[in-house]
Amino acid sequence: MYNISLRIVNDTQQAEDIMQESFLSAFDHIESYEGQVSFGAWLKRIVINRSLDALKKRKADILSLDEAYEVATAVDEESDPEMVSIQVEEIHRCIKLLPEGYRIILSLYLLEGYDHEEIGEILGISSSTSRSQYARARTKLTSLISERGLI
């Protein structure tokens, strides 16, 4: 849950605060948990919503995100494990350089497994906006990764 928040807000202190607030909120509203989804999924949604609320407070522009998955899987399996680790760290640095909106959509789509319809619902945008922003973000991330010589 912490990692979800951290990927969205990109601030360790704020992610810790959001985690604490999310758990308190979950326990304060435990009676509203209906059991239709797992408790973990319910809590994850609280964490995502709190993280997005924190961004709104910072007046962040929701744009979109990028690809880490494709780049990470493109690394040759026979590569030196230490080099692979370094490349993954560099990709994470590139993701952190993306605008907040890019990180949000990347995290929700690639790392958390939400589809564009769900992302649209979470962020209050259309699924086509999510798709187009994701495509633009992939281009931006690929550019950042190329500049660093990772691909």
- Amino acid 91 reads I
37: helix, strand or coil: coil
The CATH number of residue 129's host domain is 1.20.140.160
Q: What pLDDT does residue 70 have?
A: 46
Q: Is 35 in the same domain as 96?
A: no
Q: What pLDDT does residue 58 have?
A: 65
Q: Is 73 in the same domain as 143?
A: yes
Q: What is the mean pLDDT of residues 79-94?
A: 67
Q: Is 80 in the same domain as 142?
A: yes
pTM for the model stands at 0.56
Instruction: Centre a 10 Å sphere on the Cβ of residue 75 and count the other Cβ atoms it contains.
Output: 15
Q: What is the mean pLDDT of residues 24-46?
A: 90
Q: Is 35 in the same domain as 87?
A: no
Measured CA distances, 139 to 11, 67, 86, 95 (Å): 24, 8, 22, 12
**Higher per-residue confidence, 84 vs 60:** 84
Backbone φ, ψ for residue 57 (5° rounding): -65, -30
Q: Which domain holds residue 26?
A: 2-57
- Domain total of the chain: 2
Is 62 within a domain?
Answer: no
